[in-house]
């Protein structure tokens, strides 16, 4: 009895915050349903949970959701509300693996949006009925804004068994103008899975029309396996494959091509595959064939010699390449300096950094070099010299989200001198640049200490009660909805709004793209559909709730708390690791929300109870990531900042840095992290954390 009551109360609490529980308690509705208004309120609350479950794919009990929605049968008044109920019932039934009988989707008077929503649900369990639903929409509603969506869905459904029939639906989309968001996807499918005799022409068209599309690597791989490519095409495709780190296929394409660029690319492919001598020979030949390639080839030769640990030869190549006034010269300076610093040759590193600043004074890399001079002086306790370098850095930033580090440390150095006025002025300037950056938060804490005598919290982590924001979408069906995003969405075609209410936001996003809607509206729509990474990318930065969503928060909280980790810290880490994309994969092979390497995941998985799932499963990935973060934190003085650094660089490296630099002033310790990637990572995670606390903490 107590357990049932607790589950019901939990569902009610989560419902009012728009957060989905892991398994929805049967028929746990948080409102008495005595009036039509209360029925609508209860339905919307359950819909919020359902939309969240759809978005996060967290393995909810779909049958229980079906039962909860079934409780509304006969209570919702109005045909439109009854149809919305039918749409979610058929979806829940299909996801639960229960028999699906159309449930009104294929009725003679079914509207276009119900045919599309129902077709998508039916495609999971009854493909023939799904094809019928899409066909009815295309034929019965030729002017509907959803016809393109139906053509795409039907084409994808038909491709495996009948490519020619699929092409009849995908071709009109592929031939649409540049304003049609589905055109690129249709052309990609035709080129990779359509009728074989048409594939090469479709792929060529895709490369011409969409050279920067996300599918460009897959297109290049597909073309590389086809006959009939010209020499120019082979050379062009090799560049794309090298960019995708597919060196073997790239080299096979280049076979028989003897131009300078082809030879240069063959040399790159050879050294990347470990054939160093052949790589050197080809790169030197490329320089002879085409002298314009000399700077790039010299940098590549330097990289090659570094790889086989021949530092003098690498330095010689970098020194020659640094004479170039373009990108290759800048790259040479950066690699040359880094090589000296890796072997603790600070004297020569300073010389190279001075040359970099002189040759490329306005570059981000020059700002990094000035930062290194600042910290060389600071570590040597030459604080006056450090202050000069801080002034030279000025408003420049190392990484945009961090804010101006020179201004912040100008303030810290002024504090050291006792000049509170200068310190305060520097901190205020930092805050005016980017109020949610790392250095802005640090400046805010220092100002509070100066002005109000408050203790600087530093990098301490103090859990707070989190209040997620929920969005009631029922005003979409009212005359004058309140709220900027709802008002904008209310102007969209009615079928598009209906699908957005059902949690299917892609049609609305594509309509927004066609009509030139604001990026913030696209971000808001992405957020409603749980496309957290897209929300962050679209966000213009004016609405922080779009840039800092609480992605997968119920799962994050459940994973973090047993490990003694603040859920907001894990949220901040996941945002930095994957932008809340459960399918994220790094170039080194890290997977999922927490970006775990398979080997690490296998080791952690043996220590975490529960059935092993795929690393892309949000629940399992977060559980493993939280365990690993907690494990390193316990081994590093229980300090979250050290744990975050260790999550990126490993606990052994962090122990060495603690021994070398102490831990009395953690602000300084972070700046002295020798790995730039880890240093920036720690700053980004903590700027995320401080922002999340401010936005969502009660």
Catalytic residue set: 577
Sign of the CA dihedral with 45 first, then 47, 49, and 52 last? negative
Residues with Cβ < 8 Å from 601, sequence gap 6 or more? Answer: 591, 615, 621, 624
Instruction: Work out the burial of residue 463: count CB atoms within 10 Å of its CB; fewer than 13 is exposed, 13-18 middle, 19 or more buried.
Output: middle
655 in helix, strand or coil? helix
Residue (of 29, 36, 28, 30) closest to 75 by Cα position: 36
DSSP 35: S
**What is the Cα–Cα distance from 442 to 408, expressed in whole angstroms?**
8
329 and 320 Cβ atoms separated by less than 8 Å: no
Residue (of 667, 694, 670, 689) closest to 680 by Cα position: 670
591 in helix, strand or coil? strand
Q: Which two tokens stand for residue 413?
A: 């150095």
318 and 339 Cβ atoms separated by less than 8 Å: yes
551 and 532 Cβ atoms separated by less than 8 Å: yes
**What is the Cα–Cα distance from 232 to 220, expressed in whole angstroms?**
14
**What is the Cα–Cα distance from 251 to 642, expressed in whole angstroms?**
43
Residue (of 342, 343, 320) closest to 333 by Cα position: 320
Residues with Cβ < 8 Å from 385, sequence gap 6 or more? Answer: 377
HSE value, Cβ hemisphere, 13 Å, CA-based, for 254: 27
522 and 488 Cβ atoms separated by less than 8 Å: no
Instruction: Work out the burial of residue 218: count CB atoms within 10 Å of its CB; fewer than 13 is exposed, 13-18 middle, 19 or more buried.
Output: middle
627 in helix, strand or coil? helix
Sign of the CA dihedral with 173 first, then 175, 178, and 184 last? positive
62 and 96 Cβ atoms separated by less than 8 Å: yes
55 in helix, strand or coil? helix
58 and 618 Cβ atoms separated by less than 8 Å: yes
Sign of the CA dihedral with 488 first, then 489, 492, and 494 last? negative
Helices vs strands, H then E, count in the chain: 38, 0
Q: How many CB atoms lie within 10 A of CB 279?
A: 24
Q: How many CB atoms lie within 10 A of CB 119?
A: 28
Residue (of 234, 179, 235, 230) closest to 209 by Cα position: 179
Residue (of 207, 217, 223, 273) closest to 241 by Cα position: 217
Residue (of 176, 157, 149) closest to 493 by Cα position: 149
Total residue length of the chain: 698
**What is the Cα–Cα distance from 536 to 544, expressed in whole angstroms?**
9
Residue 410 has phi, psi (to 5 degrees) of -60, -40
**What is the Cα–Cα distance from 283 to 298, expressed in whole angstroms?**
8
120 and 148 Cβ atoms separated by less than 8 Å: no
Residue (of 663, 680, 661) closest to 672 by Cα position: 661
């Amino acid at each position: 009895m107590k357990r049932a009551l607790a589950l019901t109360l939990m569902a009610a609490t989560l419902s009012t915050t728009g957060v989905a529980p892991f398994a929805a308690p049967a028929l746990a509705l948080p409102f008495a349903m005595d009036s039509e208004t209360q029925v609508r309120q209860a339905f919307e609350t359950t819909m919020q949970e359902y939309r969240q479950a759809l978005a996060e794919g967290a393995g909810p009990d779909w049958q229980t959701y079906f039962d909860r929605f079934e409780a509304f049968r006969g209570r919702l008044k109005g045909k439109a509300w009854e149809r919305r109920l039918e749409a979610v019932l058929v979806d829940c039934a299909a996801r639960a693996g229960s028999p699906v009988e159309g449930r009104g989707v294929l009725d003679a008077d079914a509207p276009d949006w119900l045919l599309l929503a129902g077709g998508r649900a039916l495609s999971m369990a009854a493909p023939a009925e799904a094809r019928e639903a899409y066909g009815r929409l295309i034929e019965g509603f030729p002017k509907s804004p959803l016809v393109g969506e139906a053509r795409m869905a039907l084409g994808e459904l038909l491709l495996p068994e009948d490519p020619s029939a699929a092409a009849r639906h995908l071709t009109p989309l592929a031939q649409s103008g540049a304003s049609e968001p589905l055109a690129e996807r249709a052309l990609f499918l035709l080129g990779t899975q359509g009728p074989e005799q048409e594939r090469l022409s479709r792929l060529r068209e895709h490369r011409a029309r969409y050279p920067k599309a996300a599918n460009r690597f897959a297109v290049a791989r597909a073309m590389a396996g086809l006959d009939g490519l010209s020499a120019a095409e082979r050379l062009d495709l090799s560049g794309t494959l090298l960019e995708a780190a597919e060196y073997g296929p790239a080299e096979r394409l280049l076979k028989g091509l003897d131009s300078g660029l082809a030879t240069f690319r063959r040399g790159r492919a050879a050294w990347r595959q470990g054939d160093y001598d052949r790589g050197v020979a080809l790169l030197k030949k490329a320089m002879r064939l085409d002298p314009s390639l000399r700077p790039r080839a010299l940098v590549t030769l330097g990289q090659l010699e570094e790889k086989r640990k021949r530092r003098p030869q690498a330095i010689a190549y970098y020194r020659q390449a640094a004479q170039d006034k373009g990108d290759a010269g800048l790259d040479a300076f950066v690699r040359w300096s880094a090589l000296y610093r890796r072997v603790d040759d600070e004297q020569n590193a300073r010389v190279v950094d001075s040359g970099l600043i002189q040759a490329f004074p306005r570059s981000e890399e020059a700002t990094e070099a000035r930062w290194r001079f600042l910290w060389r002086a600071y570590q040597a306790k030459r604080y006056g010299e450090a202050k000069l370098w801080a002034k030279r850095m000025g408003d420049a930033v190392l990484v945009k989200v961090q804010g101006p580090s020179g201004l912040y440390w100008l303030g810290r150095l002024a504090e050291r001198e006792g000049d509170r006025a200068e310190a305060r002025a520097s901190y205020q300037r930092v805050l005016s640049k980017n109020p949610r950056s790392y250095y802005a938060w640090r400046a805010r804490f220092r100002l509070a200490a100066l002005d109000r005598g408050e203790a600087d919290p530093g990098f301490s982590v103090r859990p707070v009660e989190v209040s997620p924001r929920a969005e009631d979408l029922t005003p979409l069906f009212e005359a004058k909805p309140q709220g900027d995003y709802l008002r904008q969405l209310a102007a969209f075609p009615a079928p598009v709004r209906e699908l957005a209410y059902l949690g299917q936001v892609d049609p609305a996003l594509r309509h927004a793209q066609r009509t030139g809607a604001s990026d913030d509206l696209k971000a808001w729509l992405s957020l409603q559909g749980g496309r957290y990474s897209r929300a962050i990318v679209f966000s213009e930065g004016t609405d922080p709730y779009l840039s800092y969503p609480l992605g997968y928060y119920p799962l994050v909280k459940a994973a973090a708390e047993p490990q003694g980790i603040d859920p907001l810290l894990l949220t901040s880490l996941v945002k930095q690791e994957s932008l809340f994309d459960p399918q994220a994969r790094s170039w080194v092979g890290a997977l999922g929300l927490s970006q775990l390497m398979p080997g690490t995941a296998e080791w952690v998985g043996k220590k975490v109870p529960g059935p092993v799932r795929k690393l892309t499963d949000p629940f399992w990935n977060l559980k493993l990531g939280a365990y690993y973060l907690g494990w390193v934190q316990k081994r590093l003085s229980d300090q979250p900042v050290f744990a975050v650094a260790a999550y990126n660089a490993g606990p052994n490296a962090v122990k060495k840095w603690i021994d070398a630099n102490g831990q009395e002033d953690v602000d300084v310790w972070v700046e002295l992290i020798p790995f730039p990637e880890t240093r920036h990572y720690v700053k980004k995670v903590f700027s995320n954390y401080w922002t999340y606390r401010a936005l969502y903490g009660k």
